[in-house]
Amino acid sequence: MTESVKYLLDESRMPKSWYNLVADLPTPPPPVLHPGTLQPIGPDDLAPLFPRSLIQQEVSTEREIEIPEPVRDIYRQWRPTPLYRARRLEKALGTPARIYYKYEGVSPAGSHKPNTAVAQAFYNREAGIKRIATETGAGQWGSSLAFAGALFGIEVQVFMVRVSYQQKPYRRALMETYGARCVASPSEETACGRAILAQRPDHPGSLGIAISEAVEVAAQRDDTKYALGSVLNHVLLHQTVVGLESMAQLEMAGDYPDVIVACTGGGSNFAGIAFPFIGAQLRGGQRVRIVAIEPAACPTLTRGPYAYDFGDTAHLTPLTKMHTLGSTFTPPGFHAGGLRYHGMAPLVSHVKELGLIEARAYHQLSCFEAGVLFARVEGILPAPEANHAVKGAIDEALRCKEEGISRAILFNLCGHGHFDMQAYMDYFAGKLTDQSYDEAELAMALSGLPSVTAA
């Protein structure tokens, strides 16, 4: 093995296809249901929201789906992204582990989100769509879609969760720089936003509410479609470039992961790095332990039942079977805004049920501590969401130290935190606390789960 720190792929080695895990699963994921009939939905049910090409990807069972040339052309602005060997972190921890991280923060918006934003904008442009409405938590997704919209001449309207809108004003400025319009959610612009504000004028917002607002706008306007930054199969599919590149880069390093770690909000960066390795394992390849890290204040995979639920708070979406805390659950306003979602991607939930992945929940202070250590030795300042993965990887490396075993740990450093400096300032000022969710609110949200016995 060489002493390299970075494993870089030439542009010509960027994946030509996305990888679809559904093709290799031993059992297919449960169907998506129409909330009225409780019957599986068909493409027509989704047509008001998404272009046909994306609906086809949503239900595809093909193993490989070709990445269109114009999308690859834009990917080349920052892809392939580097794979680092965290030699300085290994030294600081005194661990025999070999720690690798895939750095998605080199994208224009600073995270993995443009991998799907560019693809979604492309398919919408192909379908003649002029406007897209979307939600955003911390603003990474909103700025990614704003960037993609600028490239394809599509107008973008972003509903940004109010607490993040206040915490991260520069994310909004970035979206506006790309030409998008960004409003705090809940807003006065939609019926569901107005209804929520009437009940609670200071509502901090949630991803579930922001999704409702964006879906409402898309459903009502013929010229507007909806785009989601996570959760859906086609979004996870687009993110598999991360894992596919990592595989080739680890081959350059002469290594293969024993453990893969990623944070999970809606599940897309996790799926992006993990699914190609899970697929290889299902096809007879090496077994890999895969660990999803979520915030203890929004513990979907570790506390949420696996049940049919709505993807949004106002119940405008179909029902999907997933780990959920209930669609009305509002997590506390902790800084990893991208992880404040009540549900988990149906495909990630399904692989959890199949026993192919594990999940762990961490409080935010220990994640910031891990992120600061990482910044001080590796130089890159992670996004608060990514700090969860850093913490997970460090814990795995410390376990290697305890056990005296050298394992290869791969984690997804899914974004930088340059727009999240208020969070770091609050951390250094001792203002951050380990917030817990309200047990009574969780119980209430779970009691509102739709009853679906037939499926």
Ligand X SMILES: Cc1ncc(COP(=O)(O)O)c(C=O)c1O
Binding site for ligand X (CB under 6 A): 111, 137-138, 140-141, 230, 263-270, 338-339, 383, 385-386, 414-415
Q: Residue 317 Cβ, how far from ligand X at the closest point, in Å?
A: 16
Contact between 223 and 130 under an 8 Å Cβ cutoff? The reply is: yes
Q: Characterize the bridge pairing of strands 83-85 and 155-161.
A: unpaired
Which residue's Cβ lies closest to ligand X? 338
Q: Which is nearer to ligand X, 249 or 264 (CB)?
A: 264
Residue 35 Cβ vs ligand X, minimum distance, rounded to whole Å: 23
Q: Which is nearer to ligand X, 228 or 400 (CB)?
A: 228
* Choice between 270 and 334, CB closer to ligand X: 270
CB-nearer residue toward ligand X: 263 or 307 = 263
Q: How far is the CB of 447 from ligand X (least distance, A)?
A: 26
Q: Closest separation between CB of residue 105 and ligand X, Å?
A: 8
Q: Which residue lies nearer to ligand X by CB, 215 or 339? A: 339
Shortest gap between Cβ of 388 and ligand X (angstroms)? 8
**Contact, 16 vs 72, CB < 8 A?**
yes
Could you tell me if 25 and 305 are in contact, meaning their C-beta atoms sit under 8 angstroms apart?
A: no
Q: How far apart are CA 63 and CA 60, in angstroms?
A: 8
Nearer to ligand X, 95 or 364 (CB): 364
Min. distance of Cβ 318 from ligand X in angstroms?
19
Smallest distance, Å, CB 292 to ligand X? Answer: 9
Please, which residue, 101 or 400, has the CB nearer to ligand X? 101
